[in-house]
Amino acid sequence: MKTDRSHALFTRASELLPGGVNSPVRAFKSVGGEPFFAQRAEGAYLFDVDGNRYLDYVGSWGPMIAGHAHPQVLDAVAKVMRDGLSFGVPNALEVTMAEAITSIVPSCEMVRMVNSGTEATLSAIRLARGATGRSRIIKFEGCYHGHGDSFLVKAGSGALTLGLPNSPGVPAALADLTMTLPYNDFDAATTLFDEIGHEVAGLIIEPIVGNANCILPRDGYLQHLRELCTRHGALLIFDEVMTGFRVAPGGAQQRYGIRPDLSTFGKIIGGGMPVGAYGGRRDLMSQIAPSGPIYQAGTLSGNPVAMAAGLATLELIGQPGFHDALERSTHALCDGLEAAAGEAGVAFHTTRAPGMFGLYFREGPVETFADALGSDTARFNRFFHAMLEGGVYLAPSAFEAGFVSSAHGEAEIAATVAAARAAFEQIGRM
């Protein structure tokens, strides 16, 4: 596998960008080695600047649910961009996107477009505090909601990967307003609400944790949180930046039958373009400026090119049977990987939801953050590099979920399992 051009680019980038990257997990620090630099992508595949081809299970970290460079998405973008890239005034596609989100996600009676998932979660928290008159928020160990100050307390994603769960630069006074709970612990949630429930503005959660790998909620857990928030007058906020429109058409809230007060979105609704959104009950969203006093703004929010890409993607995944097929592919991949590990005598467990999965080098089940931390990261790192050599690109961290797209067909999954079989045999001999 050639790496000369990627190495040269990384050398240049390391002099100009912190860590040589514009987002920490891209640097490969937790798995070792140097990142490759992408040249192009198509369907289920990434191609790097050295001409190497990879089966891609990162999918730009979630947006590419219909595969890379889908012709329908590219056509929509090309058509819109000929009329201009940004206007700074309302455009029709913003309205169409709002109609699409509110029709697919019943809990969102109104929605506001922003430019990233981080913007969406920050705005949702500000709204929760402004609407309730309270200051405290609750989050969960290992969950990641962007790089806002309130969220970098026992965070997941890159913060967990790099061993920086509590970031310098976050004022202690602000961190003190963020309470953390262990995910999937019923009693801990009840106890905390009994103690400070009257001070809590909102509880924010990844309903399926995707930033400590992939952890699914225990039966009744999300319902329990809904009941606690209702009882104590706190707002329940679902961070569906990752799960929205992926694990079901209406996201995790549809899959588990929960109606949050507020929801945040991103990734898929931009079709690969920078985007975010938050929405919820009309009485809450009506408090956002200019309708109400809670201020939030964005120069490029509702960008027409991003709206076009997102609407084309939503149209693709709205086809009958799309999510059922995605779920079958996800199960086929995970079952194949577990079988290959078993043949090699390697302790290995997968978790999965439609279109996303987690890989753990340990015996199952994995239901808590502590379980995830019990995975053998050294083995994962060896597996990651063996798979990369075999032409399969997984998330470069033992604490990030993987993604399956509709472009991952039987041939791609079979090729992935074959590469994994060789990787597991190599690991089993060590």
**Catalytic residue numbers, as ranges:** 144, 239, 267
The letter for the amino acid at 412 is: E
CA angle, 241 then 245 then 251, to 5° = 80
CA distances from 284 to 135, 137, 209, 262 (A): 16, 17, 26, 8
Cα distance between residue 56 and residue 122, in whole Å: 30
Give start and end residues of each alpha helix (H) in 288-409: 304-317, 322-344, 369-373, 377-389
Query: Would you call the peptide bond into 71 cis, given omega within 30 degrees of 0 as the criterion?
Result: no
Residue 347 vs residues 337, 350, 397, 429: alpha-carbon distances, Å: 11, 11, 18, 13
Q: What is the CA radius of gyration of the chain?
A: 21
Tokens of 249: 């058409």
Beta bridge partners of 349: 360
Distance CA 386, CA 399 (A): 18
Please choose, from the candidates 56, 62, 106, the residue with its C-alpha nearest in 3D space to the C-alpha of residue 276. Answer: 62
Let me know: does 124 contact 265? Beta carbons within 8 Å: no
Residue 52, CA distances (Å) to 93, 249, 422 in order:
37, 34, 19
Enter the tokens of residue 251. Answer: 């996201």
Dmax over Cα atoms in the chain, in whole Å?
64
Question: Residue 165: is the preceding peptide bond cis (ω within 30°)?
Answer: no
**Strand, coil or helix: 142:** coil
Residues 30, 395 contacting (CB under 8 angstroms): no
CA dihedral 324, 401, 424, 421 (to 10 degrees): 30
